Structure 1
Amino acid sequence: MTLLAIIFFALMFAGLPIAFAIGIAGFSFFVFSSSIPASIGVQQIATTSQSFPLLAVPFFVLAGHMMNRTGITPRLITCSNALVSWMAGGLAQVCIVLSTLMGGVSGSAVADAAMEARILGPEMMAKGYSRGFTGAVIAVGSLITATIPPSLGLILYGFVGNVSIGRLFLAGIIPGFLMMAAMMLTVWLVARKRGYRAESAQPPSFRVVMRAVYDAKWALLFPIILLVAIRGGIFTASEVGAFAVIYAVFVGVVLHRELTFEGFRAALAEAVEDIGVIMLIILLSGMVGYAVIFEQAPQTVAAALLGLSSEPVVVVLLILFFLFIAGLFIESTVLVLMLAPIFVPIVTRLGVDPVHFGILMMSVVTLGGMTPPVGVAMYAVCGILRCPVEEYFRESLPFLLAIILVIVGLAFLPGVVLFLPNLFG
Structure 2
Amino acid sequence: MTILVFVLSLLGAMALGMPIAFALIACGVVLMLFMGNFDTQILAQNLLEGVNNYPLMAVPFFMLAGELMNAGGISKRIIAMAEALIGHVRGGLGYVAIIAALVMASISGSAVADTAALAAVLIPLMRKSGYDIPRSSGLIAAGGIIAPIIPPSIPFVIFGVAAQVSITKLFLAGIVPGILMGVALWVTWWLCARKDAPSIEGRRFEWARLRHAVRDGLWALALPVVIIGGMKAGVFTPTEAAVVAAVYSLLVGLFVYRELKLPALPHLMLQAAKTSSVVMFLVATALVSAWLITVANIPGEVTELLRPLMEHKTLLLLAMMALVVVVGTALDLMPTVLILTPVLMPIVKQAGIDPVYFGVLFIMNNAIGLLTPPVGTVLNVVAGVAREPLGAVTRGVWPFLVAQLLVLLLLVLFPALVMVPLRWFY
TM-score by length of 1: 0.95
Moved more, 112-121 or 313-322: 112-121
8 A Cα contact 2:290 2:339, kept in partner: yes
- The SS at the match of 2:160 is helix
Equivalent residue number for residue 338 of structure 1: 339
The answer to whether 1:143 aligns with 2:145 is yes
Q: Is the 8 A contact 1:80 1:97 kept in 2?
A: yes
In structure 1, the residue matched to 2:105 is: 103
The answer to which of 145-154 and 207-216 deviates more is: 207-216
SS at match of 1:146: coil
Structure 2 equivalent of residue 386 of structure 1: 387
1:212 maps to which residue? 213
Asked whether 1:290 is paired with 2:273, we answer: no
The aligned runs of 1:219-238 (5 Å cut-off) are: 219-238=220-239
Q: Contact 1:285 / 1:337 at 8 angstroms: preserved in 2?
A: yes
Match for residue 179 of structure 1 among 181, 189, 194:
181
Deviation at 1:224, TM superposition (A): 2.0
CA apart distance, 1:302: 2.1
Distance 1:324 1:221, change over 3 A: same
Q: Aligned Cα RMSD in Å?
A: 1.8
How many angstroms does 1:149 deviate by?
Answer: 1.0
What is the DSSP-based 3-state SS (H/G/I as helix, E as strand, rest coil) of the residue aligned with 2:99?
helix
Q: For residue 70 of structure 1, what is the amino acid of its counterpart?
A: G
Instruction: Name the residue aligned to 2:16.
Output: 14
Q: Percent identity?
A: 33
**Cα distance 1:119–1:208, how it changes in 2: closer, same or farther (>3 A)?**
closer
- Say whether the 8 Å CA contact 1:166–1:227 is kept in structure 2: no
Name the amino acid aligned to 1:99.
Answer: A
Given that residues 78 and 100 in structure 2 are in contact (C-alpha distance below 8 angstroms), is that contact kept between their aligned partners in structure 1? Answer: yes
Cα distance in 2 for residues equivalent to 1:379 and 1:321? 23
Which residue identity lines up with residue 151 of structure 2 in the other structure?
A: P
Query: In the alignment, is the contact (CA less than 8 A) between 2:368 and 2:405 conserved in 1?
Result: no
- Residues 35 and 296 of structure 2 are in contact (CA less than 8 Å); yes or no, is this contact kept in structure 1? no
1:54-69 correspondence runs (5 A)? 54-69=56-71
SS in 1 for 2:221: helix
Q: Residue 215 of structure 1: CA displacement?
A: 2.1
Residue of structure 2 equivalent to 1:302: 303
Q: Distance between the aligned counterparts of 1:70 and 1:188, measured in 2?
A: 32
- Partner residue in 2 for 1:397: 398
Say yes or no: does 1:265 pair with 2:253: no
- Distance in 1 (CA, whole Å) between partners of 2:113 and 2:60 is 15
Instruction: State the shift of 1:158 in Å.
Output: 1.0
Which residue is equivalent to 1:74?
76
Task: Compare 284-293 and 246-255 and name the one that shifted more.
Answer: 246-255
Matched-pair contact (CA < 8 Å) for 1:107–1:146: yes
- Encode CA deviations 1:330-357: one digit per residue, 9 max, x unaligned: 0110111111122223223322221111
The number of equivalent residue pairs is: 424
Which residue is 2:355 aligned to?
A: 354
Contact 2:170 2:356 in 1 (8 A): yes
In the alignment, which residue of structure 2 is the partner of 1:163? 165
**1:217: Cα distance to partner?**
1.9
Q: Which runs of 5+ in 2 are unaligned?
A: none
Deviation at 1:130, TM superposition (A): 2.1
Which one is further off, 280-289 or 293-302? 293-302
- Structure 1 counterpart of 2:343, one-letter code: I
2:82–2:96 CA contact under 8 A, matched in 1: yes
SS state at 1:374 partner = coil
Give the letter aligned to residue 91 of structure 1: L
Q: Runs of 5+ in structure 1 lacking a partner?
A: none
- After TM superposition, give the deviation of residue 203 of structure 1 in Å: 4.1
CA distance in 1, matches of 2:118, 2:15: 30
| 1:30/1:38 contact within 8 Å kept | no
Hey, what does 2:317 align to over in structure 1? 316
Could you tell which deviates more after superposition, 343-352 or 367-376? 343-352
1:3 Cα deviation (Å)? 2.5
Structure 1 window deviating more from structure 2 (14-23 vs 326-335): it is 14-23
SS at match of 1:144: coil
Q: CA deviation at 1:247?
A: 1.5
**Which residue of structure 1 lines up, in the alignment, with residue 241 of structure 2?**
240
Deviates more, 1:99-108 or 1:32-41: 32-41
Q: Deviations over 1:104-134 (max 9, x none)?
A: 2221111111222222112212211223112
Structure 1 residues 389, 209: closer, same or farther in 2, change over 3 A? same
Take 2:379 and 2:143, find their aligned partners in 1: how far apart are those partners?
A: 11
Give how far 1:36 is off: 5.0
- Contact map agreement 1:313 1:412 (CA 8 A) in 2: yes
1:128–1:231 CA distance, 2 compared to 1 (3 A): same
C-alpha distance in structure 1 between counterparts of 2:246 and 2:366, whole Å: 27
Given that 1:135 and 1:381 are in contact with CA atoms closer than 8 Å, whether structure 2 keeps it comes out as yes
Q: How far is the alpha carbon of 1:210 from its aligned partner?
A: 4.4
2:156 to 143, 154, 157: 154
Contact 1:90 1:197 in 2 (8 A): no
Letter in 1 for 2:83: N
For 1:37 and 1:259, the matched residues in 2 are separated by 49
Structure 1 counterpart of 2:194: 192
Tell me: CA distance 1:208–1:198, structure 2 relative to 1, closer, same or farther (3 Å).
same
